[in-house]
């Protein structure tokens, strides 16, 4: 009985070995002979992407097939990366099997460009190529082709304000965009920015379209103008709290920095409608405060407003009585008593206040 069992085991082993040898002999040899060749787009093609065309085709990438020495299924992937990055961080635009083309939508290319650090509404240089492989192995690449992409965003654009003033002014480390205050545009696709920044002393700064200093708006040739990626920093000449405005439209490239000291004004306040009652800025909280005795006054004809520099060029009211401030908005009604009033202008275009009875 033992001899029979041993014979069966030997027979099965022989069959297994025989099958394995045949499998190896019948398996095709795959060699990467010729890389794929990208035939479209051509070098220098420029794409201006828009949200209105997000679902449309922006390009049909085409190529000559890779040669692996036989009739086998080949995977193709279209890749994009920043020019000069040697495809260290490629983004995928599309994949197909044993085909010579792939359609890429506007939104797909836009997502890839933004993931690679492109600045919305600004042209940037990229490279595209085709990768081929067989079951994840035998990888080959086409030559890279240079293209230019101008992406969009549906988010409201921001400008960062890094500079040598930050540490002393309560904004983290000097020249660190990630902790710098920001300016905000009117809406997505718009180029007019504003925001408030405190300078503890005179200092230099930049305006950057991302939270780094890879690209920047610098001092232009004449006062109040900007230059993209120039060499001269912008400068504030005296300590203070500034409203900074900028327009990055290439046809404008302007900026301004206006020093403002905030207070309250109105017939509910000690100074009436003729003189501001000054508030005090706290660089730690980044808010203006005052503790003051108010009289009872009813809006919209009476009450108080926030005003800067003792004139009406810069003033806020509260249209809707919701704690949110609007330029030139409605008077704020009051009750009688002592109040801690706080003005918060640290969030650009989202200005708020509180009035807490003491």
Q: What predicted TM-score, i.e. pTM, was given to this entire model?
A: 0.66
Q: Are 157 and 185 contacting, i.e. CB atoms less than 8 angstroms apart?
A: yes
Q: Compute the average pLDDT of residues 105-116.
A: 97
d(CA 253, CA 246): 7
Q: Compute the average pLDDT of residues 94-100.
A: 97
**What per-residue confidence (pLDDT) applies to 76?**
98
- What percent of the chain shows pLDDT beyond 70? 92
Give me 313's structure tokens.
């060029």
**What per-residue confidence (pLDDT) applies to 29?**
62
- Is the confidence at residue 334, as pLDDT, over 50? yes
- What percent of the chain shows pLDDT beyond 90? 86
d(CA 164, CA 118): 25
Cα 85 versus chain centre, distance: 20
Q: Compute the average pLDDT of residues 28-46.
A: 91
* Per-residue pLDDT band at 297 (split at 50, 70, 90): very high
| Interval 118-169: pLDDT, tens | 988 889 999 999 999 999 999 999 999 999 999 988 889 999 999 999 999 9
């Amino acid at each position: 009985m033992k001899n029979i069992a041993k014979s069966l085991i030997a027979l099965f082993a022989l069959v297994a070995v025989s099958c394995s040898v045949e499998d190896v002999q019948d398996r095709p040899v795959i060699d990467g002979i010729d890389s794929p060749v990208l035939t479209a787009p051509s070098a220098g093609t420029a794409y201006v992407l828009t949200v209105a065309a997000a679902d449309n085709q922006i390009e049909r990438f085409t190529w000559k097939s890779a040669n692996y020495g036989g009739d086998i299924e080949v995977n193709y992937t279209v890749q994009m990366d920043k020019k000069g990055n040697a495809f260290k961080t490629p983004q995928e635009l599309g994949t197909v099997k044993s085909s010579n083309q792939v359609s890429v939508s506007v939104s797909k290319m836009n997502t890839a460009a933004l993931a690679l650090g492109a600045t919305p509404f600004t042209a940037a240089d990229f490279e595209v190529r085709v990768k081929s492989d067989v079951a994840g192995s035998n990888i080959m690449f086409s030559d890279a082709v240079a293209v230019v992409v101008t992406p969009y965003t549906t988010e409201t654009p921001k400008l960062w304000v890094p500079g040598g003033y930050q540490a002393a002014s309560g904004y983290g480390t000097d020249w660190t965009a990630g902790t710098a205050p920001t300016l905000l545009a009117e809406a997505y696709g718009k180029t007019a920015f504003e925001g408030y920044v405190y300078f503890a002393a005179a200092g230099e700064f930049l305006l950057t379209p991302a939270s780094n200093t890879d690209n920047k708006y610098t001092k232009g040739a004449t006062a109040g103008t900007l230059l993209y990626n120039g060499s001269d920093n912008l400068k504030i000449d005296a300590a203070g709290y500034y409203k900074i405005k900028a327009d990055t439209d290439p046809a404008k490239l302007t900026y301004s920095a206006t020093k403002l000291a905030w207070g309250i004004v109105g017939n509910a306040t000690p100074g009436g409608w003729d003189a501001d009652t000054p508030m005090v800025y706290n660089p730690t909280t980044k808010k203006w405060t005052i503790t003051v005795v108010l009289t009872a006054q009813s809006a919209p004809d009476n009450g108080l407003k926030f005003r800067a520099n003792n004139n009406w060029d810069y003033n806020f009211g509260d249209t809707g009585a919701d704690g949110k401030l609007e330029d030139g908005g409605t008077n704020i009604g009051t009750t009688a008593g002592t109040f801690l009033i706080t003005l918060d202008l640290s969030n650009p275009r989202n200005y708020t206040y509180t009035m807490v009875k003491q």
